[in-house]
Amino acid sequence: MANGEIFDVTVIGTGPGGYVAAVRAAQMGLKTAIVERDPAGCGGTCLQRGCIPTKALLHTADLYEDFKNRKEYGIVAENVGLDFPAVMSRKDRIVLRLSKGIETYLFKKNKITLFKGHGRLEGAKAVVVKGEGGETRVDTKNVILATGSRPKSLPGITPDGKTILTSDDILKLKEIPKSLVVIGAGAVGMEFASMFARFGSTVTVIEMLPRILPLEDAEISAEAHKVLAKQMTIHTGAKTEAVLKTANGVEVGFHTAQGESKTVTADLLLLAVGRGPVTDGLNLESTKAQLDRGYVKTSALMATDEPGLYAIGDVVALPDRPHPQLAHVASAEGIGVAERLAGHAVEALNYDRIPSATYCRPETAGVGLTEAEAKKRGYDVRVGRFNFGSLAKPRILGHPEGLVKVVSEAKYDEVLGVHMVGPHATDLISEACVALRLEATTEEIFRTVHPHPTLPEALMQAAEAVYGHAIDA
Ligand code: FAD
C-alpha cells in the first residue's frame, strides 16, 4: 500500500553492495529505503554465507594448527582437540551480531527504512515488497539492484544438501567429515579445502584448469599449490566425469591431466564451481534493463538501460570485462552510485586495482597486473621477488613460507602489480593497493622506511629486488 512517501533511492538487497550503498546515500542526505527477503537477516551472502562465516572458521583452523604445533612455540597443553559444535556456534554468534548491527544500528542511525520481504520492480519508480503482512508499494526516484548471487552447479550434478553440498550447505555441517572432495580450486573451494584439511578431514581437490587459484599470478598459485599440497591431494587439469551417491557418501569419477581415469570416494562433496546471478521475481521486464547470461548489464558507472535503475555487486555484467564477484567491489560500486545520485562526480572504479584475497594458509593476495598480463599489455616488465623466509617476523610467527612479487615497468618505474603468498598476505596487500592508487614508483616503496621486524618489510624488500638490492638470506 502506498502512503504518499517518495524515497530518493530504494536499494534491493542488504549484502555488502546494498547496505553500504544505502548508508552512503543516507549520509549524503538522500531519503533511503532498503529491501531484504532473507529470513536469516541482513548482510547478504558475504555476512550470512560467505566472507564472514568462512573467515571465522578459518581462524579456528589457524589456531588449531598452531596449537597442534605447540611444542615449537614452547606451549604445554594436554588434549588439544576441536569441539566442532562450539566452533560452529562461535561462527553463528559472529554472524548474528554483525547482522543485527546492520539492522539495529546502521539502518536506524542513518534513518534508513528497512522493508522485509521480496522486492519486485514496477518500472524503475516503484518497488513492491511482498512481506509477511502482504504487499507494500514503495515509491522511489531511483532503484539500486544489489540482489547478489547464488552457488552454481555442474551439468548432471544436483546438490542435495546432504552429501553433495554447496558453499551454503557446508556452513551448516554438524560434524567434521572424515573425507571431503572439493570440485573447484578457486578462492571458495580452496578456503574450504584448507579449513577442513586442518580440521582433520582427508581432502581431495579436483580442478579443471591447469592451476589452483587461477586468477592469481602464476608464480603465486604455484607456491600456494606447493604448500597446500602438504595438507591435501590436488588434481589440476582434471575433468570431473561422474558423481554417484553411495551408501556412505559419494564417488567422484574424473580424468586426470594425463588422461588417466580415476575415482575418489568421500563422505561429502563440495561443489565450488562459481556463482550465478539472482534476479528471480524481480520483474525486470517492466524496465528497459538488459541481461547478459542472466546478469544485469550496466555501464562503467553501474547504470542500466533504464533511467534511474542501477545495479551493483555480484549481479552485474560489465560492458567490457568480467565483473569480479567480491564484497569490496560491491561496496565500492554502491558508494559510487550513492554519491553520484547525490550529485558528486565520482569516477568509475578502476577494476585493474581491485585486490584479490584468499584466506587459506598460506594466504594469497594480489592487486594490479600479473606478470603475464603486464607483458601482454606490452610493458617492459621488471620483477622483484622476496621470500618471507628471509625475514625475521615470519620466522617468529612460525610461518616462513611464501613470497612477495612486485611487477614493475622500466620506463617510469611505476608499480603495475603486487602479488603475494604467505603469512597475513590478505592484510599486507592494502599497502600495495595504496601504492597503485597513488601510482607510486618501485623506488618510492623501497625508500619508504618500514618498521622492523614486521611482515610489510617483505614488500619493501621485493621492491628493492626489482633493482637487485634486496637483503635476501
Ligand atoms: P549478496 O551479498 O549476495 O546480497 C544480496 C542480497 O539481496 C541477499 O541478502 C538477498 O537475500 C537479497 N535479495 C536478492 N533478491 C532479492 C529480492 N528480490 N528482494 C529482496 N531481497 C533480495 N568476497 C570477498 O570479497 N571476500 C571474501 O572473503 C569472500 N568470501 C566468500 C566466501 C564464500 C563461501 C562465498 C560464497 C562468497 C565469498 N565472497 C567473498 C563473495 C562475496 O560474498 C560476494 O561478492 C558479495 O556478498 C556480493 O555482495 P552483493 O551485495 O552483490 O550480494
329 contacts: CB under 8 Å, gap ≥ 6: 313, 323, 349, 351, 354
Read off the C-alpha cell for 221. Answer: 598459485
Atom nearest to 316 CA in ligand 1: 52
Cis peptide bond upstream of 394, omega within 30: no
Read off the C-alpha cell for 129. Answer: 515488497
Query: What is the total residue count of the chain?
Result: 473
Specify the pLDDT at position 473: 57
User: Bridge-partner residues for 140, per DSSP?
Assistant: 7
| pLDDT tens digits for range 215-226 | 999 999 999 999
For ligand 1, atom 32, the nearest C-alpha belongs to 50
CA of 326 to the centre of ligand 1 (A): 8
Mutate to test the pocket of ligand 1, among 46, 165, 270 (most ligand atoms within 8 A of CB): 46
Specify the pLDDT at position 8: 98
For ligand 1, atom 38, the nearest C-alpha belongs to 50
Specify the pLDDT at position 470: 74
Residue 349 identity: L
Alpha-carbon distance of 207 to 261, in angstroms, equals 15
The per-residue pLDDT string of the chain (473 residues; one tens digit each, 9 = 90 and over) reads 456 799 999 999 999 999 999 999 999 999 999 999 999 999 999 999 999 999 999 999 999 999 999 999 999 999 899 999 999 999 999 999 999 999 999 999 999 999 999 999 999 899 999 999 999 999 999 999 999 999 999 999 999 999 999 999 999 999 999 999 999 999 999 999 999 999 999 999 999 999 999 999 999 999 999 999 999 999 999 999 999 999 999 999 999 999 999 999 999 999 999 999 999 999 999 999 999 999 999 999 999 999 999 999 999 999 999 999 999 999 999 999 999 999 999 999 999 999 999 999 999 999 999 999 999 999 999 999 999 999 999 999 999 999 999 999 999 999 999 999 999 999 999 999 999 999 999 999 999 999 999 999 999 999 999 998 877 75
Residues with CB under 6 A from ligand 1: 12-18, 35-38, 44-46, 49-51, 54, 118-119, 146-149, 167, 188, 278, 281-282, 313-314, 325-328, 330
User: Bridge-partner residues for 119, per DSSP?
Assistant: 129
**Contact 42/357 with Cβ under 8 angstroms?**
no
Specify the pLDDT at position 1: 46
Mutate to test the pocket of ligand 1, among 51, 122, 287, 429 (most ligand atoms within 8 A of CB): 51
Which positions are catalytic? 452
Q: How many DSSP H helices and E strands does the chain contain?
A: 15, 25
CA of 12 to the centre of ligand 1 (A): 12
Atom nearest to 315 CA in ligand 1: 52
Mutate to test the pocket of ligand 1, among 14, 34, 42, 45 (most ligand atoms within 8 A of CB): 45
For ligand 1, atom 28, the nearest C-alpha belongs to 51
Alpha-carbon distance of 421 to 98, in angstroms, equals 29
For ligand 1, atom 46, the nearest C-alpha belongs to 327
Alpha-carbon distance of 313 to 215, in angstroms, equals 19
Cα-Cα-Cα-Cα dihedral sign, residues 224, 229, 232, 238: positive
CA of 265 to the centre of ligand 1 (A): 31
Cα-Cα-Cα-Cα dihedral sign, residues 371, 377, 381, 384: negative
